[in-house]
Structure 1
Amino acid sequence: MGCYVTIVTVLLFLVLNLVEGAPQVPCYFIFGDSLLDNGNNNDLETAARANYQPYGVDFPDGPTGRFTNGKNMADFLAEHLGFDHYMPPFANATGDEILQGVNYASGSAGIRNDTGSHLGYRIYLGKQLENHKVTISRIADLLGSTTSAKNHMNKCLFIVGIGSNDYINNFLMPEVYPSSNLYSPSQYATILIQQYSQQLKELYEDGARKITLFGLPQIGCIPDQLKRHDTLFCVDSTNQAVQLFNNKLKALVDDLNTNLPDAKFIYINMYSISSAIALTLLNRPCCKVSDTMPEGQCIPGKSPCLIRATRFFYDNFHPTETGNFIASNRAYRALLPSDSYPMDIRHLVRASNLYYDDQ
């Protein structure tokens, strides 16, 4: 009898430890642009690539397609969630690894299909959603049915970080794109949100329930904008346009949560978070940037600054690993009430799954 009790106790101990060490969600899917891309653009005909040095100088695998010196926000969030690996890019995802998640993000991608087209091919959000349907089909094959695949999606965390390029590589480039001549900043924000809303509803229809939406950072303060406007100070007109989008996106979260049964959308206030980071880190790019295509990205093979932990930006657009670390920490566990709405990612992943378990 004593031996039996001992065996049961050991088994319970092992089970409890396995549960304690398990990821907080069974799966994690990523949609977005170069702030989250981890290799989807590597083999595309595009200038928006980061699979060369000095990108990845602090990443264990070297240059992988991440637009920074080390980890990006998607990577840090994977660690927060308890995964022992980073989600594979859709371009390379195979086998049953897709059950735990896929990264669809693509450098220069936008909500609008034409955004970033001057740089070459990019996987815009509509196409990322098409790629996700391919993944769902593959998961259906693994689990036995489309219903099982969508029930699996119900339990996953989804993050979507997109929209910056719809300004940087569209609205703010009147020499290339007509959008700023066709729309006022308010009108442009409205049409972006309308299209984004439809895309998010499509994601919901494909089974997503826990969805994190990253607002846009202070684009008017990035080195690219300072250079374009020949100023040392943030470009107010750009930041005001971005905030029009952010305000509408936060309101969209309420609308989606109200009108889509069991939906749990949250908004991450990257505008205020990026403002706070800028107060603690130097605003100059760490790597030597190119003046030609791709303008503002790191020049291949040139050594970056030595003390990278003190810099906010790695090139003229993208944060350093340090910037990504701080931003992802505050997205996961809000430091201030204004960091997230209506909750942070930590609370989102703890939201009840009872409804989905009963399906």
Structure 2
Amino acid sequence: MTSFVKALILMISSATLLCFAHSVPQVPCYFIFGDSLMDNGNNNHLVTTAKANYAPYGIDFPDGPTGRFSNGRNIVDVVAQLLGFENFIPPFATARSDEIVQGVNYASGSAGILDETAEHMGGRICMNQQLTNHAITILQLVDLIGNGSSARVRQHLNKCIYTVAMGNNDYINNYFYPEYYQTSTLYTPEQYAEILVKQYSKQLSTLYQYGARKFGIHGAGYIGCTPAMMKRFNTNICVDAVNGAIIQFNTKLVTALGDLESKLSGSKFIFIDPPLGYSSDFNVTDKPCCNISTIIGEGLCAPNEIPCDARENYIFWDEFHPTESASLVDGARTYEALSSFYASEPKGSFPISAV
């Protein structure tokens, strides 16, 4: 862990959750696409087992259970705080018109690159639908800041940071779930990674066409080391077959991002490596902090049960998702990786027109 990241963690740990900063944000807007690692409430009203809007989720968050799959802040909350936004980036499901100028969070628990991923869990907002939701936001922005002109909105979006984190569920809730999906019998890990990255590249190209230029793309995590996947494979060590498939996906993704950057004029793609390990400050690295439900979706907390006390010592909150403490580390790493996007960006944003 770099000294810069350590300093960021110290700063963000002591910052209030209710008011982040009194200065202008370092970029005018921040848009978020992803899965449950980023979701902050988009799944709350869906018919799905991928929900986190109940206690003990949010036990360390001032608003309680909001739909975040954590005891407190998630990774993008930390990034938004470090970027200097006054409030967390709102979920698309509830974002007001006066909020969307500074960004929207489209992430959805169980979402994947492929439309069919996690269909056994019920409702979810896959990457293609998240793109559709972003198009809806852009139409709203045309009225809010463009005075009817899409060109002015595009100028605004060109300055925004876009972070995207997809691929985890295409393995957790597709390729490595043969009870529901045939992908692991139809494709080798390499072939499947090629299919995912090809589709992902098209989706990122669509974001570019909408006006995105500054992309922070999270690599898929080493999900073979999550308690849920170790339980699924009946082992107490990381599942090499799962992590090996993830490495193939990330390797192909890095190459694809380089190709996109060379083809899409003015674009910049930053690949954000998944963490290989954490500071020794985390004493519990293979067990969840909350009691796991046997009724609700796989690996999620049992409703209304008391979690562990020393949450700062745990990496995993439930069997898939990190604690707030781990997200402080990952969020600071992400912020550092994105530094070229905000270091040279002039401060300020378009005013909201009267509506």
User: Scaled by the length of structure 2, what TM-score is found?
Assistant: 0.88
Q: Name the counterpart of 1:338.
A: none
**After the TM superposition, which parts of structure 1 deviate over 3 Å for at least 4 consecutive aligned residues?**
276-281, 351-354
Note if 1:226 corresponds to 2:219.
Answer: no
2:329 is equivalent to residue 326 of structure 1: yes
**What CA distance in whole angstroms lies between the structure 1 residues aligned with 2:240 and 2:278?**
17
Aligned to 2:53: 51
Aligned length: 325
Select which of 180, 183, 194 maps to 1:179.
183
The within-5 A match list for 1:45-84 is 45-84=47-86
For residues 271-299 of structure 1, give each alpha carbon's deviation from its aligned partner in whole angstroms, at most 9, with x where no partner exists. xx143358844121000012334121000
Following superposition, the deviation at residue 20 of structure 1 comes to 9.0
For residue 312 of structure 1, give the secondary structure of its aligned residue in structure 2: strand
Match of residue 251, structure 1, among 249, 252, 255: 255
Partner-residue secondary structure (3-state), 1:78: helix
Once residues 280 and 307 of structure 1 are traced to their aligned partners in structure 2, the CA distance between those partners, rounded to angstroms, is 10
Superposed, which structure 2 residues align to 1:188-337 within 5 Å?
A: 188-270=192-274, 273-276=275-278, 280-282=282-284, 283-333=286-336
Aligned to 2:10: none
Matched residues in 1 for 2:241 and 2:320: separation?
18
Against the structure 1 CA distance between its residues 97 and 91, is the aligned structure 2 distance closer, same or farther, given a 3 Å change threshold?
Answer: same
Q: 1:137 to 1:164 in 2, by over 3 A?
A: same
SS across alignment from 1:349 = helix
Q: Contact 1:278/1:312 (CA < 8 Å) preserved in 2? A: no
TM-score under structure 1 normalisation?
0.88
Contact kept, 8 Å, 1:218 with 1:275, in 2: the verdict is no
Q: Distance in 1 between matches of 2:278 and 2:142?
A: 43
Greater shift after overlay, 129-138 or 345-354? 345-354
Q: Which letter maps to 1:179? A: T
> What residue in structure 2 maps to residue 149 of structure 1?
153
Cα deviation 1:183-210 (Å, max 9, x = unaligned) = 1000000000000000000000000000
Q: Deviation digits for residues 210-254 of structure 1, max 9, x if unmatched?
A: 010000111110001111122111010100000000101111221
Report the equivalent of 2:92: 90
Which secondary structure does the structure 2 equivalent of 1:275 belong to? coil
Partners of 2:263 and 2:279 lie apart in 1 by: 35
- The residue matched to 1:106 in structure 2 has which SS? coil
- Match for residue 346 of structure 1 among 339, 347, 351: 339
- 8 Å CA contact 1:220–1:234 kept in 2: the answer is yes
* Aligned with residue 41 of structure 1, among 21, 40, 43: 43
- Cα distance change, pair 147–116 in 1 and its aligned pair in 2 (3 A): same
Judged with a 3 Å threshold, the aligned counterparts in structure 2 of structure 1 residues 251 and 87 are, in CA distance, closer, same or farther, namely same
Q: Which has the larger radius of gyration?
A: 1
In the alignment, structure 2 segments of 5+ residues that lack a partner are: 1-20, 351-355
- Shift of residue 128 of structure 1? 0.3
Alpha-carbon distance change, 274 to 299 in structure 1, aligned in 2, over 3 angstroms: farther
1:75-154 residue pairs with structure 2 within 5 A? 75-143=77-145, 144=147, 145-154=149-158
Q: Give the Cα–Cα distance (whole angstroms) in 2 for the partners of residues 265 and 220 of structure 1.
A: 26
Give the 3-state SS of the residue equivalent to 1:326 in structure 2: helix
> Which is helix-richer, 1 or 2?
1
Secondary structure class of the residue paired with 2:278: helix
Contact 2:39 2:105 in 1 (8 A): yes
1:8: which partner in 2? none
Identity %: 49
- Over the aligned positions, Cα root-mean-square deviation in angstroms equals 1.8
CA distance in 2 between counterparts of 1:146 and 1:94 reads: 20
Q: Distance in 2 between matches of 1:308 and 1:137?
A: 42
